[in-house]
Amino acid sequence: MRLKSSTFINFADVEHLKQSFEPLADNDARILILGSIPGDRSIELGEYYGHPQNRFWKMIAVITGAPPPINYGQKRAMLMQNRIALWDVAQRAHRQGSMDSAIRNEEPNDIAAFIAGQKKLQRVVFNGKKAEQLYGRYIERLSGICYLSMPSTSPANAAVSFDILCEKWREILI
């Protein structure tokens, strides 16, 4: 699997340059959840889905039957216990604010290499349309992997109720 070709990226405007985190994963992952790139609050905290109104962690707890995590260590452990890896499609991008619609000049993470190293991986799940769009721009889909697009857990997607969000996201579980 290889990255699709991309154009030259100019990162001269560092004021709005956002950087992704390392993946949260171990060798047991069966599910890889991909977001677009961390928002401002997440970057400030150094944690995936750090905005207090993002429903990601609460939703993962509900669909897996895990107790609600209190701190980031418990959040990471909940993912590992449920064989879920977490990463972002973009390694870096320009974005003023935290809206996915503002992402520009993105550079992808090497997800192809990551997937190749995950021998038990069965599903790639996109947390929102932007993550799926970015993935499609840079990375080829593999046969043998199930790809699912889920509604975003972002507070900007408030039109989808928490109950509906959980109902749809339950589909990711193997």
Question: Could you list the active site residues?
Answer: 54
**Angle (CA) 82 40 151, round 5°:** 45
Beginning with the edge strand found earlier in the chain, give each strand of the sheet holding 123-127 in spatial order: 84-88, 31-35, 123-127, 146-150
Q: How many residues does the chain have?
A: 174
Helix axes 56-64, 72-81, angle to 10 degrees: 40
